[in-house]
Structure 1
Amino acid sequence: MTFESTKAGSRWVTRIIPLFLAAAVGYATYVTVARVCADFLIHDRQQHGSAVAVLVLYFLFMFLMIATYLRTIVTINTDPGLVPLGSLAVSRRNSKEASDSTRRADDLEGQPYGGMAPDDNPDSPGLEQFYTKDVFICETDGRPKWCSECCNWKPDRAHHSSELNRCVLRMDHYCPWAGGMVGENSFKFFVQFTAYTACYCGIVLGAAGSSLKKKISSGDGVDGFLVGALGLGGFFGLFTFMMTVTSLRYVLLNMTNVDLLGYRTKVYQLAVRIPRGSQGTDSYHVINYPLPRPGTSYSTNQQANGTGTMNRVNSPSLGREARDELAHRTFAILRTEASENPWDLGYWENWKEVMGNNPIDWLFPIRRSPCVKHDLNESFYRMGDIVNVVRARHGLAPVPVDGQDGVEMR
């Protein structure tokens, strides 16, 4: 199954661009191999060593460029890292019913929960994957973020793409050059592709520019093929070099293009696990999971300054035997300060989180980023010291351990 843009214009562009790129590579190969190495370096100058060096570097970077490009477009088109659709979204799309939000061009994340209210069922499918973590991104009421288009809870750092009309894990950007949406599954390969393409273009520019300069100096005139290669190499070289620099910045910050939008003013709301049964304070409120069933009653915790915080509690009339088999947890709803990045692990750990743990992973498009595993008990993605800083601001102790104070498991 392939995942293409919902926009006809984008689909046609992504289909045409590979043909254009193939033609550009074919032209560069002809110029470098035939015009530079064979005709000029070997035939005219008898510089066999220089020709061999140029050919080795050229084909090395061309191979790496093509390999990373193919890995990128295959991953993007077969497994871009989509969040599953909720049952309502599946039925709605199967019956081809278009909601008002489907026709909107703006981002669905501009307001809490978008146009359709989140599922109020306390056993809503997928909700348990949030409250079994120690920390997750939430709304003001303590529930996870909800996508009104996909009718499902959004994992941390997932965003809705208007191009695919689906939520994408660690969505970075839609790239027609790479054939689709660059997200968590493909970002590492995309970085490798842009880096190797920039190196490839550098070889083309160096070989063509040096040969053209020597030709002009010796009175042989201007070779139009070399000029064309310089134009193509300069255009793609500058473009991919800037993309590489930008992408490496994202890697070292452990952020994405979407994460950095409005970064200086962006704050995150964190649901942070605290000992079960803890009460809210004047600086934060709490929420208890699993959420209560219909018939919920509320208790108000009066603070010293007269401020009350509302906490959900289970009504005594509810049958709790089945629920006692589940994890009961309490979370404090805390906010970061502007520009604080919860996922900043430091440059070295950020690098390994995206690019891998060894040079083989860094250089070759074999394994995906370690961050795609989602096998942590603490959070969807590894979080840095900011979480401890935020906890300390509110006088909260470290996350409790099951079996010790504040045990959540029965």
Structure 2
Amino acid sequence: MSFESTKAASRWVTRVIPVILAVAVGYATYVTVARVCVDYLIHDRQQNGSAVTVLVLYFLFMFLMIATYLRTIVTINTDPGLVPLGPLAVSRRGSRYGSDKAHRADDLEGQPYFMAPDSNPDSPGLEQFYTKDVFICETDGRPKWCSECCNWKPDRAHHSSELNRCVLRMDHYCPWAGGMVGENSFKFFVQFTTYTACYCGIVLGAAGSSLTKQMNSGDGVDGFLVGALGLGGFFGLFTFMMTITSLRYVLLNMTNVDLLGSRTKVYQLAVRIPRGSEGTDSYHVINYPLARPGSSYSTNQHNNGNGAVARVNSPNLGREARDSLAHRTFAILRTEAGENPWDLGYWENWKEVMGTNLIDWLFPIRRSPCTKHDRNESFYRMGKIVNEVRVRHGLAQEPAAGPDGLEMR
């Protein structure tokens, strides 16, 4: 499977950039090791201690930079975190008219065949949403739909025009890092930019200090040192700004896409409430699995003759009563403008992306904890905003069991 951009220009840039970076690192290594440490510090000034210090720091950060860069590229090109295509998209893209390339606006045959969400109550993938306690939804209570991929979009997934696929926690397409940066590679990308900025700082410090001393002693200007300063300054400033920006995303638990219009963005949440609950003036409800046209489901309750509602909890349930236990009711709630449902606080946000210990923070070994998706509550951990939204609408802070005490058994 190819994870390359659908745009020819992006593909060529992505292939050329590693060569450029290799040449730049090779040049910086020659200047720092040969020109600065060996020729100047050791031979000319006999400052062996300074030379050893520069060499240790240089190769340390170069090793970390290369390791994180390779980890980023490998992850991006083997598992960028794509959402599976729906059956309709698989069929369409496998047909003679199917294409992974961007559609021209005036090409009728190139337009998506299936713009509307799948109306089938048993639509593949729908169950992964209503088995959660909270998920992002549309006004009608159904998850967001991608007309290009013909599939339901998990929370925080966005469609990439570069790949023509939906990407989990998509951040941006980076030709310097080899492709699409998403949840699987974002941690390694942050480590790469951080170590590259530090590496460039060592090159700038070594070359700048040596050049200044040479000029003050009247030895003239070494053109190699000037070139190293230019390269180090360019890449150092670029990666430093990328590091600051990425660390901001980490601390806010957001992505580049999430921040677009974040001050005015409003999320609609499908929040699980006791099964069979009715809507209010504040919110409406939706029941899952979706009912087929002309059918409904039983709330699995009956009157015991004294006006009380009896709860059915026998293990020997009839088919109709048993099937009703698999139903869930969700209230459709709205956040206020600018609220981030995934904000856990700076420390928890950091651990969600960078890991829980120093080894995870420093080395590109394990992926971010947020990539596991093994939670029953939601696709990603949600913060206090969700409970605040519940309270605003008169609901309990935590989802409660259904009226018969059983759910999803």
TM-score normalised to structure 1 length:
0.90
1:10-29 equivalence runs, <5 A? 10-29=10-29
Shift of 1:400: 3.4
Q: Quote the Cα distance in structure 1 between the aligned partners of 2:182 and 2:408.
A: 35
Task: Tell me the distance in 2 between the aligned counterparts of 1:62 and 1:114.
Answer: 49
Q: Give distance in 1, aligned partners of 2:291 and 2:282.
A: 24
| CA separation of 1:100 and 1:364: change in aligned 2, threshold 3 A | closer
The letter of the residue matching 1:261 is L
> What pairs up with 1:67-146 in 2 under 5 angstroms?
67-98=67-98, 102-103=102-103, 116-146=115-145
CA distance in 1, matches of 2:246, 2:113: 30
TM superposition shift of 1:370: 0.2
Once residues 326 and 87 of structure 1 are traced to their aligned partners in structure 2, the CA distance between those partners, rounded to angstroms, is 29
Amino acid of the structure 2 residue aligned with 1:58: Y
C-alpha distance in structure 1 between counterparts of 2:220 and 2:122, whole Å: 77
SS of the residue aligned with 2:338? Answer: coil
Letter in 2 for 1:46: Q
Tell me what 2:304 maps to: none
- Report SS of the residue matched to 2:159: strand
Report how far residue 409 of structure 1 moved.
3.4
Q: Partner residue of 1:108?
A: none
Gaps spanning 5+ residues in structure 1: where?
A: 106-112, 299-318
**Contact 1:400–1:407 (8 Å) recurs in 2:** no
Alpha carbons 2:134, 2:270 under 8 Å: kept = yes
Alpha carbons 2:325, 2:407 under 8 Å: kept: no
The answer on whether the counterparts of 1:158 and 1:171 sit within 8 Å (CA) in structure 2 is: yes
The question of whether the paired residues in 2 share the 8 Å contact of 1:273 and 1:399 is answered with no
1:81, distance to aligned residue in structure 2 (A): 0.1
User: Separation in 1 of the partners of 2:265 and 2:196?
Assistant: 33
**Does 1:287 pair with 2:286?**
yes
Letter in 2 for 1:56: V
Determine if contact 2:251/2:346 at 8 Å carries over to the other structure. yes
For the 8 Å contact 1:131–1:289, the answer to whether it is kept is yes
In the alignment, what sits opposite 1:199?
Answer: 198
Tell me the SS of whatever aligns to 1:281.
Answer: coil
* Contact kept in structure 1, 2:355 and 2:361, CA below 8 Å: yes
Q: Distance in 2 between matches of 1:258 and 1:296?
A: 40
In structure 1, the residue matched to 2:66 is 66
Distance between the aligned counterparts of 1:396 and 1:325, measured in 2?
23
Residue in 2 that maps onto 1:57: 57
Structure 1's consecutive aligned runs of 4 or more residues displaced over 6 angstroms after TM superposition are none
Q: Distance in 1 between matches of 2:364 and 2:67?
A: 7
Query: Offset at 1:96?
Result: 3.7
Once the two structures are TM-superposed, the CA of residue 264 in structure 1 deviates from its matched residue by 0.6
Q: CA, structure 1 residues 404+398, in 2 after alignment: closer, same or farther (shift >3 Å)?
A: farther
Q: Tell whether the 8 Å contact from 1:101 to 1:149 is kept in structure 2 after alignment.
A: no
| 1:320-331 matched pairs, under 5 angstroms | 321=320, 324=323, 327-331=326-330
Paired residue for 1:223? Answer: 222
> Which residue identity is paired with 1:12?
W
Match of 1:141, SS state, is: coil
In structure 1, the residue corresponding to 2:258 is in which secondary structure?
coil
Alpha-carbon distance between aligned partners in 1 of 2:49 and 2:321, rounded to the nearest angstrom: 77
**3-state SS in 2 of match to 1:331:** strand
Alpha-carbon distance change, 195 to 101 in structure 1, aligned in 2, over 3 angstroms: closer
Shift of residue 324, structure 1, vs aligned partner? 0.1
User: CA offset at residue 295 of structure 1?
Assistant: 1.9
Question: CA contact under 8 A between 1:31 and 1:225: conserved in structure 2?
Answer: yes
Deviation per residue, 1:245-285 (Å, 9 max, x gap): 00000000000000000011001000000011111011110
Q: Could you report, residue by residue, the CA deviation over 1:189-231 in whole angstroms, capped at 9, with x for unpaired residues?
A: 0000000000000000000000000000010101100000000
Counterpart for residue 364 of structure 1? 363
Q: Which runs of 5+ in 2 are unaligned?
A: 106-111, 298-317
Please name the residue that 2:155 is paired with: 156
- Distance, in Å, in 2 between the alignment partners of 1:140 and 1:234 is 50
- 1:165-188 alpha-carbon deviations (Å, 9 max, x no partner): 000000000000001000000000
Instruction: State the Cα distance separating 1:406 from its structure 2 match.
Output: 5.7
The answer as to whether partners of 1:276 and 1:406 remain within 8 angstroms in 2 is: no
The CA distance in 2 between the partners of 1:394 and 1:114, in whole Å, is: 39
For 2:219 and 2:87, how far apart are their aligned partners in 1? 71
- CA contact 1:158–1:167 (8 Å) conserved in 2: yes
In the other structure, the counterpart of 2:385 is 386
Three-state SS of the structure 2 residue aligned to 1:171 is coil
8 Å CA contact 2:36, 2:206 repeated in 1: yes
Which residue does 1:109 correspond to in 2? none
* Partner SS for 1:215: helix
Partner secondary structure for residue 371 of structure 1: helix
**Aligned match of 2:273:** 274
Q: Is the 8 Å Cα contact of residues 132 and 327 (structure 1) preserved in structure 2?
A: no
> 2:43 is matched with which residue?
43
Question: d(CA) in 1 for partners of 2:280 and 2:131?
Answer: 23
CA contact (8 A) 1:82 1:168 kept: yes
% identical equivalent positions: 88
Task: Map 1:302-381; keep pairs closer than 5 Å.
Answer: 321=320, 324=323, 327-381=326-380
CA-CA distance at 1:89 after TM superposition? 0.3
Deviation per residue, 1:293-336 (Å, 9 max, x gap): 122479xxxxxxxxxxxxxxxxxxxx974970762100000000
- Measure, in 1, the Cα distance between the counterparts of 2:390 and 2:132: 16
Conserved in 2, the CA contact under 8 Å of 1:101 and 1:115?
no
Counterpart for residue 239 of structure 2: 240
Distance 2:101 2:284 in 1: 31
Q: State the distance in 2 between where 1:357 and 1:124 align.
A: 37
CA distance in 1, matches of 2:408, 2:70: 47
